[in-house]
Amino acid sequence: MGKLLSLLSRDDSNCCSSPRYDIFLDFENAAPTDTERDVYEEVQRVLLDSERILEEIQCYKGAGKEIREAIADPSRISQERAWRAVKPLVDKLLRCYNHSLELQRVVPRLLGSLVGGAMSPTQHLEQQQALVKQFAEILEFVLKFDEHKMKTPAIQNDFSYYRRSVSRGGLINADLPPGDEPHISADVANRMSLFYAQATPMLKVLSEATSQFVNDNQQDLENTTETLSTMAKVCLRMLENP
C-alpha cells in the first residue's frame, strides 16, 4: 500500500494528460463479460448487502440515555432497560463487522481479476470496466461507512457497555426471553472491539486485504500498484475534463 500511495502522490504535472490515462470508464453501462461473470456476481452480492449495512450505520441511534440511567441507578429494572436498548444495537454492529469479513474475502478475488494475467493496467481498465466499477463502489462504501462511524461515538460506548454487562453476569445470567440473551463469543467480541477501536475500520480492512493479496502474489506487485494508480488518475482526468 505504501508504494501505491507514493505513486498517487507523486508530483507528475503531466501525468493526467498522458495518452495512457485517456480512458473513459463507462460506469453507467459497464457490464461483465462471460469470463468475469463469476467474480462479478460474487462481488455484487456483497455490494448489495453493503447498501443495507450503510443504511444501518447511517441511522444508528445509541443507547446513551439508557446506559447513563443504568449507571446512575443499578436496579434490576434499569439494567434490563439498558440491556434491551443495547442488545439490538450490538446485533447491528455484529452485522457490520461480519460484512467487513465478506469484504476481506472478496477483495483479493476482485484484485486477482483486475491485475492478473498479461494485460497492462490500461488494458485492464479498458476491458474490465464492470469490475473496475465494483472496486470503485467498494471504495465508496468504505469511505462512507467510516465517515459515519467517526461521527458516531455511541458505537464504541454501546459496545463497551455490552461487554461490561456480559463480563459482570448478574442480569445476563438470569432468565432472559429468547433473543435477549448474549450470543457473541468472547473471541468474536474481542475482534469486534479491535475493529471498532479503529478510526476508519473498513479502510483498514480494505488496506489489509490489498496488502495480503500483494504478499501472496508477489509476481503481481508491480501490476497491482500500477493498475490502482492508473485507475485513480483516469478518474481524476475524467473529473477534470468532463
pLDDT digits (tens, 9 = 90+) for 127-164: 888 888 899 899 999 999 999 999 999 999 999 999 98
Q: For residue 64, is pLDDT > 90?
A: yes
Residue 53 Cα distances to 46, 113, 114, 129, 182, angstroms: 10, 26, 25, 25, 22
Question: What residues contact residue 191 under an 8 Å CB cut-off, 6+ apart?
Answer: 97
Which SS3 state, helix, strand or coil, does residue 1 take? coil
User: Which residue, chain included where needed, has cell 460484512?
Assistant: 99
Q: What percent of the chain has pLDDT over 70?
A: 81
Question: What residues contact residue 78 under an 8 Å CB cut-off, 6+ apart?
Answer: 66, 69, 70, 72
Better-scored residue on pLDDT, 122 or 76: 76
Which SS3 state, helix, strand or coil, does residue 123 take? helix
How many angstroms separate the most distant Cα atoms in the chain? Answer: 71
Q: What is the pLDDT of residue 176?
A: 55
Q: What is the pLDDT of residue 66?
A: 94
Phi, psi of 34 (to 5 degrees): -60, -35
Better-scored residue on pLDDT, 107 or 19: 107
Residue 188 Cα distances to 87, 137, 162, 175, angstroms: 15, 27, 13, 23
Interval 29-51 mean pLDDT: 90
Interval 235-242 mean pLDDT: 72
Q: Is the pTM here over 0.85, yes or no?
A: no
Interval 203-224 mean pLDDT: 86
Lowest pLDDT segment from 54-68, 195-209, 215-229: 215-229
Better-scored residue on pLDDT, 8 or 154: 154
Amino acid at 189: A
Domains of the chain, earliest start first:
19-227 (1.20.58)
CA–CA separation, 186 and 210 (whole Å) = 28
pLDDT digits (tens, 9 = 90+) for 180-212: 555 788 899 999 999 999 999 999 999 999 989
CA–CA separation, 81 and 83 (whole Å) = 5
